[in-house]
Amino acid sequence: MAKIRPSQGAPYARIMGVGGYRPTRVVPNEVILQTIDSSDEWIRSRSGIATRHWASDEETVAMMSIEASGKAIADAGITPEQIGGVIVSTVSHFKQTPAVATEIADRIGAGKPAAFDISAGCAGFGYGLTLAKGMVVEGSADYVLVIGVERLSDLTDLEDRATAFLFGDGAGAVVVGPSQEPEIGPTVWGSEGDKSNTITQTVPWDDYRNGTPEKFPALTQEGQAVFRWAVFEMAKIAQQALDAAGITSADLDVFIPHQANMRIIDSMVKTLKLPEHVTVARDVETTGNTSAASIPLAMERLLATGQAKSGDTALVIGFGAGLVYAATVVTLP
């Protein structure tokens, strides 16, 4: 019996560069209030959101991804030709096939990398990061581009008082490459499919095709159920990720949770008993909930503003529709 040659990858993997793209249009709460019976004070108190970005017709999923990717590749100090894999996490690319990752790979000049899309909601960046780490360590790619991108304004019901103010658009990207030290920790990930109806699409696409609903499909959620799950269950997952990495909250420099809601973020900080020295990403205030894009966008902003620095130890955790989650400890690029 022939023996298969073992893979020859890097000992470990790391995030080498990060980039982001926010659409040019900034949408304040006053715009949202034109279609729902609410107030700026109520929106801020319930979510912490003051503004969000909405994409124009020209700011497509591919275009935003390409802009974010270019910044990440430059930040990593490599060329597009060196990219051996492109992973895109999105729920708002409306073409069933081909994967938008293939278009992005071609347009950034990456040659012929492995390219595919994943659908893991707000945990999608964590899923993509874990897959990229495996590719680098396994040896199937030297450098992998991981993109989280959404145009959630296309899936927002502006007359739904519970969700109209939540969602925004944007793209975040990182380059994952080889490392001699462990700079992406073990991932704690999973799903709770029995709760999948708490965040979902109002109707499936085929119902819309058959003319059943009057409105275009949109995102909907059971707000209180999601809040309780995120605050109590995700704090446990975050702690498991710290334990898996062999560190404590006192060793952290930065906490970058999915930017779903400021109340969820603040509650997780309290439950985890994070020390005061830990910088906490609160990008949701001006960016809204951008699902798979929220963690890399928040990471980029912290680094760009100097609130975090290269070499910092960060805990990242994403959670959302499915219900799915992924948490890991990383060294910032």
pLDDT in tens, 285-299: 999 999 999 999 999
Find the DSSP H helices in the chain.
29-32, 40-47, 61-76, 100-107, 124-138, 205-209, 223-228, 234-245, 262-272, 284-287, 294-305
Is 289 in the active site?
yes
Which entry of 29, 53, 93, 289 is annotated as an active-site residue?
289
* Token pair listed for 90: 């999105």
pLDDT in tens, 83-112: 999 999 999 999 989 999 999 999 999 999
Q: How many C-alpha atoms does 143 have within 13 Å on its Cβ side?
A: 23
What pLDDT was estimated at residue 167?
Answer: 97
Which entry of 53, 258, 261, 277 is annotated as an active-site residue?
258
pLDDT at 23 over 80: yes
Is 258 in the active site?
yes
Which of the pair, 292 or 227, is modelled with greater confidence?
292
Q: What is the pTM of this model?
A: 0.96
pLDDT at 213 over 70: no
Distance of CA 333 to the CA centre of its chain: 17
For residues 272, 277, 283, 289, the Cα torsion angle rounded to the nearest 10 degrees is -10
What's the mean pLDDT in 121-131?
97
Using N-to-C axis directions, what is the helix angle for 262-272 and 40-47, rounded to 10°?
30
Q: Which of 86-100, 218-232, 299-313 has the lowest mean pLDDT?
A: 218-232
Which entry of 29, 53, 122, 261 is annotated as an active-site residue?
122
Is 122 in the active site?
yes
Nearest partner of 146 among 183, 182, 177, 186, judged by Cα: 177
The answer to whether 326 touches 123, Cβ cutoff 8 Å, is yes
pLDDT at 208 over 80: no
DSSP code string of 121-142: GGGHHHHHHHHHHHHHHHTS-S
Identify the three-state secondary structure at position 69. helix
pLDDT in tens, 257-268: 999 999 999 999
